[in-house]
């Protein structure tokens, strides 16, 4: 058995050393504290690399999940609970003062996914996908008459999100999560063999993006063995799909002889994959151990914490700390940020690593020639607004969605308090302090 103290030491060591691409902890670049403004005089301090500034451009939007920004600067956010009966909001800054002063709601369904492609806005409910035609001003036409693209996606009581991405060949990809954390028989630690959920969940399904009224059985299972993917993005540079997997939960509940509670807090890694047709990431039969840096057979299927899993499954490109919940993925294609960020991946983490007391942040993975070129790092921190090791109150914000604006700025949603952040680059060696005022409603 791996001792818990050894596990923590290994995790902390990887933060400093960084000896592989599939790395568990980040190497931090130089940072500055940049003030943003919440309400009245209660500032939130985001920690950003030198030269960047952050601002809050909208608040109280509701539980905003994913986000998309048009060429004209309009912002569309998807809500996983209806606000005033609407699940999508178009946000607009009409007087160019940097703050949202106009909101227009439509769509009577909650959900997570939203993406812009070829003059259409695609949005997902928890069981289907819709699209809306845009006019020449990038505004939704006939907002009360969306076109149903896909229906009948599996929806259960947990992990309902249907995240979406669109490629350049007219296909749309959607995540269907497992509602059974480790595919166990109810009330036991025994794994179902074979796992019956893989036929309709725990994977990515592909449909045609321009064909209306497709039922679930008309889709193709594109990749399997992915327990829950909330963050995904089509990478135009590699012409391929990248996904972020939420790892499974506890090991020690039914296997205390092999796993301690501390090990359950450290395992498994949250993982990034590049997926292609027919790929299998291995869930529920294997998991990725960030300490051993191996794919390990799950205890439900004969594993003992050391036995290596099958080689037929794909390897992760990046391993993040356990239970940080990577909910947003964006490949940055702009030129406003420094060169090192171009074509790299931003990741929004929705939760935290309990052993490290780190989370609720935006990370960055540098890429070169279509592959990660170094350890992941913390880009924007302190969305929580508290010291996670010695919390003085509740978490204030949970990053969820990411989008790139036409000016190259990075937008970050918060589905806890409905706050929308904008991160920009001003340049220079020293960070600046930027305060964004908010209009009273």
- pLDDT tens per residue, range 343-383: 999 999 999 999 999 999 999 999 999 999 999 999 999 99
Rounded Cα distance, 410 and 359, in Å:
19
- pLDDT tens per residue, range 217-269: 999 999 999 999 999 999 999 999 999 999 999 999 999 999 999 999 999 99
The sheet carrying 279-280 orders its strands as: 164-166, 171-176, 203-208, 220-224, 279-280
Rounded Cα distance, 430 and 432, in Å:
7
pTM summary value: 0.91
Q: Look at 228 and 435; give whichever has higher pLDDT.
A: 228
- pLDDT tens per residue, range 112-154: 999 999 999 999 999 999 999 999 999 999 999 999 999 999 9
Domains in the chain with CATH codes: 4-108+230-425 (2.120.10)
Q: Are strands 220-224 and 279-280 parallel, antiparallel or unpaired?
A: parallel
Q: Where are the alpha helices (DSSP H) in 213-325?
A: 261-266
pLDDT at position 44, please? 82
331 pLDDT band (50/70/90 cuts)?
very high
pLDDT at position 278, please? 98
Got the DSSP string for 86-133?
EEEEEEE-SSSSSS--EEEEE-S---S-EEEETTEEEEE-SS-EEEEE
pLDDT at position 310, please? 83
Got the DSSP string for 399-417?
EEEEEE-TTS-EEEEETTT
Q: Tell me which residue has tokens 């998807």.
A: 78
- pLDDT tens per residue, range 280-289: 999 999 999 9
- pLDDT tens per residue, range 40-84: 345 688 999 999 999 999 999 999 999 999 999 999 999 999 999
Q: Look at 37 and 308; give whichever has higher pLDDT.
A: 308
pLDDT at position 439, please? 34
Instruction: Count CA atoms closer than 13 A to 53's CA, side-chain side.
Output: 18
Q: Is 388 exposed, middle or buried (0-12, 13-18, 19+ CB in 10 A)?
A: middle
């Amino acid at each position: 058995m791996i001792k818990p103290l050894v596990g923590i030491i290994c995790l902390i060591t990887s933060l400093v050393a960084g000896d592989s691409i599939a790395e568990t902890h980040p190497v931090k670049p130089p940072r500055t504290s940049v003030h943003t403004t919440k309400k009245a005089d209660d500032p939130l301090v985001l920690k950003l690399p030198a030269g960047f500034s952050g601002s809050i451009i909208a608040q109280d939007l509701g539980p905003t999940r994913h986000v998309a920004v048009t060429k004209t600067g309009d912002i569309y956010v998807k809500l996983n609970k209806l606000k005033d009966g609407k699940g999508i909001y178009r946000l607009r800054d009409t007087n160019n003062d940097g703050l949202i002063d106009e909101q227009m709601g439509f769509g009577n369904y909650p959900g997570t996914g939203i993406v812009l492609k070829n003059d259409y806005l695609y949005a997902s409910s928890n069981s289907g996908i819709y699209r809306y035609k845009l006019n020449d001003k990038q505004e939704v036409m006939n907002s009360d008459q969306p076109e149903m693209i896909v229906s009948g996606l599996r929806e259960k009581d947990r992990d309902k999100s249907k995240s979406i991405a669109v490629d350049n060949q007219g296909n749309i990809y959607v995540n269907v999560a497992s509602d059974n954390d480790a595919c166990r028989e109810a009330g036991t630690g025994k794994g179902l063999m074979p796992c019956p959920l893989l036929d309709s969940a725990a994977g990515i399904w592909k449909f045609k993006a321009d064909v209306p009224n497709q039922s679930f059985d008309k889709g193709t299972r594109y990749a399997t063995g992915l327990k829950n993917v909330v963050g995904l993005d089509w990478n135009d540079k590699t012409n391929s799909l990248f996904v972020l997997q939420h790892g499974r939960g506890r090991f020690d509940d039914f296997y205390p002889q092999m796993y301690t509670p501390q090990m359950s807090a450290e395992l498994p890694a949250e993982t990034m994959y590049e997926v292609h047709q027919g790929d299998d990431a291995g869930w529920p039969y294997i998991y990725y151990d960030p300490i051993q840096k191996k794919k390990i057979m799950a205890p439900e299927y004969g594993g003992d914490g050391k036995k290596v899993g099958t080689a037929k499954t794909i390897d992760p490109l990046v391993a993040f700390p356990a239970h940080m919940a990577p909910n947003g993925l964006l490949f940055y294609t702009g030129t406003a940020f420094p060169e090192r960020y171009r074509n790299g991946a931003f990741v929004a983490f929705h939760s935290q690593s309990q052993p490290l007391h780190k989370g609720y942040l935006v990370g960055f993975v540098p890429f070169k020639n279509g592959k990660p070129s170094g350890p992941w790092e913390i880009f924007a921190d302190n969305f929580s607004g508290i010291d996670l090791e010695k919390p003085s109150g509740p978490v204030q914000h949970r990053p969820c969605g990411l989008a790139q604006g036409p000016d190259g700025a990075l937008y970050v949603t918060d589905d806890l308090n409905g706050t929308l952040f904008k991160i920009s680059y001003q340049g220079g060696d020293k960070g600046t302090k930027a305060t964004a005022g908010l209009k009273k409603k």
